[in-house]
Amino acid sequence: MKVRKIRTGRPPKKVSEGISDRILDIALGLFTTQGFTATSIEQVALACSAGKHTIYRRFKSKSDLFLAVMEFQKKKFIDLLVRIECKKESPLETLKESCRRLLELIVSDQIANLYRITISEVEHMPEIASNLQCEESPSFLRILDLVIAAQKSNELDPIDPKFLTTQLLQVMTGYPLNEVLLGSKEFRSQSKRSKYFEKAWILFMRGAKKKKVRKRSV
Kindly list the domain boundaries of the chain, sorted by start residue: 72-208
For residues 214 and 139, what is the distance between their CA atoms, to the nearest angstrom? 36
- 15-29, 52-66, 91-105, 110-124: the lowest-pLDDT one: 110-124
Which numeric CATH code is attached to 72-208?
A: 1.10.357
Query: Which residues pair with residue 209 across a beta bridge?
Result: 156
Rounded mean pLDDT, 161-184? 92
pTM of this structure:
0.71
Which of 99, 170, 125 has the alpha carbon at shortest distance from 31? 125
Question: What stretch of H or E contains 30?
Answer: helix 13-34
pLDDT digits (tens, 9 = 90+) for 67-107: 898 888 877 777 776 666 555 678 899 899 889 988 998 89
